[in-house]
Amino acid sequence: MLQIMRKILLFLMLASTQVYSQGLILSSPEEKAEFPKLPADKLGFAESLPSSYSLEKYVPTVLNQDGGTCVGFATFYYALSTMYNIEFNITDPKEKYVHSFDPYFIYSIYFNDENDCDRGLPFYAAFDKLGKIGAKKLFYPPFTNCETSWTRTKLANSLGYTTPYSINNWYYYETENMSNSSIINAVKQNLYNNKPIITGFKFVDSMYSYTSENILGVKSDGLWDPNTYEDEKGGHALCVVGFNDYKFGGAFRIVNSWGRDYGDNGYMWVKYSDFTAFVEEIFFLELNENIKKLPPTVIETNNYKRYNYKNNSNTYSFYEGQYLRGSVNGYGIWSDKEDDSYYVGRFDGGKMSGYFLLVDNDGVFSANAVNGKLQDFEKLGFASDNSLMETQLEAKKYFSRLGEKLSIRKANSSRKSNVKAKK
């Protein structure tokens, strides 16, 4: 691992000189030789696999990447989000979106205030940060972009809600000297064990959408039908979430980060034979021990928790976030099942406080909360609320990049209640 760390440092020095169209810097054979290999006992075994299996119901909304940020999408946004959604059985589209992870966080950390989303990353660089500082929820501050500037203080303040999502390990599945059938079966086995798979592909033009100029491109049925004579133009990171032995003669279901207009609603089908021909890297993540297999599954650390509580309507609401001084204090996500809404921001003694993001059936909204009650932005004083307005501007830019319109929520249009502390 020492050699890998040295390569990370070297990458940071050389990254500005390397341009890859889709943002994945593929690893060399020498680098792969140093990667932690997937142990046999992590693979699992089933006497017989089903003809099809899918994790798609746990995958967050397909988004369109900005610049060469595919590694952040495949790793943080798709794979990690899906793994946690599986653990907590999150399938509602709104809830999946709220609980997804920020794909740009890794780039803001690496390329601190350098305004360059086109440099690309190798997978091991992303995994290194994921193990050390964790991942930031999409709706948690700061609302990152390629121009985000990190100070030591700013990063330290965020660790309280990023490190709970750090990974224990990452593994490389060694395909060298493996038969095609062994590779296919290993991928299928892991999918059947509810593990999304992070992959690095050789990128060729046929991977783009079909157009009159690109007649070999992916059509609305999602099938990628490449040709071996195409010129390789770098690497592209993708997340495998399913398989079907009867689809196109046997194919993997793969989620892309080029928007919902791409392929089959943002997904592509890759035939088993094409998968083994074009895949260069296969990785698996191992979640940390913060997840407790209780009824229901929860997150439990000294200062960060996920728990449920019964509402007056006999439904269950959830809180997931910082839990300081024996109560709901700090940044968190409140899933209020009584009004089918989600509140993300800073809590003070269980009460919403300051800038908040709200998600319900009408969309994504901004709001300000004072002592647990939402306030109208129009009634705020200019002198005391400059920072709030700055946060609002950052959030609008951030969600615009994600393809989401951010509106202002009026105080009287949303419930005014508070999170219950864990007993």
Residue 112 has pLDDT above 80, yes or no: no
Averaged pLDDT for residues 321-349? 94
Average pLDDT, the chain: 87
Q: In this predicted model, what pLDDT tens digit does every residue of 47-72 receive, in sequence order?
A: 689 999 999 999 999 999 988 899 99
Residue 94 has pLDDT above 90, yes or no: yes
Averaged pLDDT for residues 357-362? 90
Averaged pLDDT for residues 328-341? 92
- State how far the Cα of 60 lies from the Cα of 266, in Å rounded to an integer: 11
Contacts of the segment 177-182: beta carbons below 8 A, 24+ positions apart: 180/272, 180/273, 180/276
Domain 2-287 of CATH type 3.90.70.10:
yes
The answer to whether the beta carbons of residues 81 and 97 sit under 8 Å apart is: no
Residue 412 has pLDDT above 80, yes or no: no
Q: In this predicted model, what pLDDT tens digit does every residue of 244-269 receive, in sequence order?
A: 999 999 999 999 999 999 999 999 99
Claim: this prediction has a pTM higher than 0.85: yes
Q: Name the phi and psi angles at 283, rounded to 5.
A: -130, 155
Q: Tell me what pLDDT residue 244 has.
A: 98
Q: Tell me what pLDDT residue 129 has.
A: 93
pLDDT confidence tier of residue 10, bands split at 50, 70 and 90: very low
CATH 3.90.70.10 placement within the chain: 2-287
Q: Tell me what pLDDT residue 67 has.
A: 86
Residue 416 has pLDDT above 90, yes or no: no
Say which CATH architecture domain 295-413 belongs to. Answer: Single Sheet (2.20)
Residue 113 has pLDDT above 70, yes or no: no
Averaged pLDDT for residues 282-308? 94
Averaged pLDDT for residues 197-212? 94
Residue 423 has pLDDT above 80, yes or no: no
- State how far the Cα of 197 lies from the Cα of 79, in Å rounded to an integer: 7
pLDDT confidence tier of residue 39, bands split at 50, 70 and 90: confident
Residue 414 has pLDDT above 80, yes or no: no
pLDDT confidence tier of residue 152, bands split at 50, 70 and 90: confident
CATH 2.20.110 placement within the chain: 295-413
pLDDT confidence tier of residue 313, bands split at 50, 70 and 90: confident
Residue 21 has pLDDT above 50, yes or no: no
Q: In this predicted model, what pLDDT tens digit does every residue of 227-248 receive, in sequence order?
A: 878 898 899 999 999 999 999 9
